[in-house]
Amino acid sequence: MSDSKNKGKAPERREDDNDSSSNSVPSSGGATKKLSAKMLESLMESNPALKNELASMDKETAAKTLANMDVSQLLTGLSLGSTKNQKDMASYKFWQTQPVPRFDDRATQAAAPQGPIKMIDPEKVSKTPDALLEGFEWCTLDLTNENELRELYELLNNHYVEDDNAMFRFAYSQSFLHWALMSPGWKKEWHVGVRATKSRKLVASICGVPTELRVRGDRIKVTEINFLCIHKKLRSKRLAPVLIKEITRRCYLEGIYQAIYTAGIILPTPVSSCRYYHRALDWLKLYEVGFSPLPHGSTKARQISKNHLPSTTATPGLRPMESKDIDAVHDLLERYLLRFDMNQAFTREEIDHWLVYKPQAGKEQVVWAYVVEDPDTHKITDFVSFYNLESTVIDNPKHGVVRAAYLYYYASETAFTEDKSALKSRLQMLMNDALICARQAKFDVFNALTSHDNPLFLEQLKFGAGDGQLHFYLFNYRTAAIAGGINDKNLPDEKKMGGVGVVML
């Protein structure tokens, strides 16, 4: 469930040092972090899943559970006191029934064997969905039908993720949905909807696409779950667990028993957590819509100058990716991704679908990809890509949308030289060129996580820390925690790389 809360927000700092009473929580690195009683209370309110489980424990067990959790999982990515984007999913009563690691399993996870949590007997999988509330019925969306594609587009654009202050909302274009949900091997049955029986209006959705992951050497077929969305007027109807159970049932019927999903809130239990970083491309516009603040003591002119980019790229041989580059990029990317504990295993057909832009009448461009071709050998030595995900600006008199470029996949032959400083230098040049290309394509901001090798260039290229966190989850699969590129201070850390090598839309 790619539900990255506050995905497009400017950084916010929240400090609370007025309460002297505190609780000590050991971090993963062994240091002790102090959480005030007030902050712990806010933390519980922001995470009903955690609150509900702790409430069912005696005090000693609850204290041990808190102690076993990384402080980064407790604090990062949370806007304390907010529940706007929890989408009715956070009740741990539901997650207790699902094959996912429990919060208090963390102490034993390292010793547990990696692999499925529950073995599924295909013969016992129900052939029919659970009943819905009276007045609603299941449907399967046909996204080859322009009318149904438009229905999903309208549902998401009106009811999907907003920031805490209701200033921005994701605006998934129909072209984006076509790209994201009709990848090689896509299954119509995994595009699930709920309709109001009388009006036939689409009021909820959850979707999946098939892919393969490599998790510490194990290759597993999974469903990538996304676009869990419920009409705002139905948020109290507890539809989210029913939607999750239905997409799970449909995946089981196809012989797929694992899934990957993301959320901006903490559910039981993240396999990894990354932080969002933002690089302003049009700082003045971002300031005018309330996305970027004016730092104390600075001026608008100074901020515009600080975020200025060269007009031309610097990497020799950089050019847009073409169909003729598919095999070379596939080979380079596969070798590059093997360096990460959790990564996507691509087929040639998937490289073609996900990375090569093919102009079509009436279709907006969704993905931009560039390769570096050695002028002498004509070998592809590097590539970089990003995709377009706009956000609607709510009630702003001057601007209607923020055009955000999201860093997608990239790779460089320099990674195989075992010279980290050379890779760092190469990626800084390559990513600076990606910023220039995005600016030329009229993007306003460039977003990236702390995944992959991103800590090598985020701060150097003037990316600012966001207040959004993206937590990665594996359904019905257990593995030890995977590094997300951040340390226990929630900052990019080159020593914490090598974990997450997958991008979720």
Is the residue at 306 inside a domain? yes
For helices 37-46 and 48-55, angle between their N-to-C axes, nearest 10 degrees: 110
Q: What is the DSSP letter of 392?
A: E
The Cα–Cα gap between 80 and 139 comes to 37
Same domain, 148 and 165: yes
Consecutive H or E run containing 46: helix 37-46
Catalytic one among 35, 43, 309, 505? 505
- For tokens 């909807």, what's the residue? 193
pLDDT of 400: 84
- What are the 10-residue block averages of pLDDT along the chain, 505 residues in total? 38 31 33 49 51 60 57 34 37 82 66 89 95 96 96 91 67 93 97 97 97 97 96 90 97 98 89 95 94 90 96 97 98 98 98 95 94 96 96 85 96 95 98 98 97 98 90 96 94 96 96
In a domain, 35, yes or no: no
Closest CA to 266 of 462, 79, 98, 16: 79
Does 317 lie in the same domain as 180? no
The answer to the question of residue 48 being in a domain is: no
Q: Which of 210, 232, 263 is the last residue of a domain?
A: 263
DSSP 342-366: EEE---HHHHHHHH-----TT----
What are 318's two structure tokens? 């950089």
- Return the residue matching tokens 């050379």: 422
Report yes or no on 483 lying in a domain: no
What is the widest separation between alpha-carbon atoms in the chain?
A: 69
Predicted confidence at residue 71, as pLDDT, reads: 41
Q: What is the 3-state secondary structure (H, E, C) of 137-179?
A: EEEECCCCCHHHHHHHHHHHHHHCCECCCCCEEEECCHHHHHH
> Are 196 and 276 contained in the same domain?
no
296 and 443 inside one domain:
yes
pLDDT of residue 14: 27
How far apart, in whole angstroms, are the C-alpha atoms of residue 341 and residue 136? 42
Domain annotation covers residue 341? yes
Give the type of residue at 5.
K
The reply to whether 317 and 466 lie within a common domain is: yes
Query: How far apart, in whole angstroms, are the C-alpha atoms of residue 393 and residue 165?
Result: 11
Please give the pLDDT value at position 65: 60
8 A C-beta contact, residue 443 and residue 405:
yes
The answer on 234 and 333 residing in a single domain is: no
Q: Are 370 and 434 in contact (CB under 8 A)?
A: yes
Looking at residue 180, the DSSP 8-state letter turns out to be H
pLDDT at 48: 47
Select from 225, 242, 263 the last residue of a domain. 263
Q: What confidence score (pLDDT) does residue 298 get? A: 92
pLDDT at 209: 98
pTM, two decimals, is 0.84
Residue carrying the six token digits 């903490």:
266
**pLDDT of amino acid 64:** 61
Cis bond leading into 269, ω under 30°? yes
Q: Name residue 305's amino acid.
A: S
Distance CA 204, CA 237 (A): 11
Domain boundary among 263, 290, 320: 263
Residues 369 and 438 in one domain: yes
Compute the distance between CA of residue 430 and CA of residue 412 in angstroms, rounded to an integer: 9
Under DSSP, is residue 197 helix (H, G, I), strand (E, B) or coil? coil
Q: Kindly report the length of the chain.
A: 505
| Structure tokens, 193 | 């909807």
Output the pLDDT for position 264. Answer: 86
Q: Which helix (H) or strand (E) holds 38?
A: helix 37-46
For 101, phi and psi rounded to 5 degrees? Answer: -65, 140
Domain count, the chain: 2
3-class SS of residue 278: strand
The CATH number assigned to the domain holding 428 equals 3.40.630.30
Q: What is the pLDDT of residue 113?
A: 86
d(CA 296, CA 283): 16
Would you say residue 349 lies in a domain? yes
How far apart CA 206 and CA 223 sit, in angstroms, is 12
Domain of residue 405 covers 272-473+492-501
In a domain, 346, yes or no: yes
- Judge if 321 and 467 occupy the same domain: yes
Radius of gyration of the CA atoms of the chain, in A: 22
427 an active-site residue? no
**3-state SS record for 410-458:** EEEHHHHHCCHHHHHHHHHHHHHHHHHHHHHCCCCEEEEECCCCHHHCC
Instruction: Note whether 329 and 249 are same-domain residues.
Output: no
Residues 222 and 328 in one domain: no
Pair 357, 255 in one domain: no
Please give the full DSSP string across 472-496, using - where no structure is assigned. Answer: EEEET-B------SB-TTSSB-GGG
- 411 within domain boundaries: yes
Task: Give the closest residue to 211 by CA, choosing from 500, 449, 483, 503.
Answer: 503
Same domain, 231 and 298: no
| Number of Cβ atoms within 10 Å of the Cβ of 166 | 10
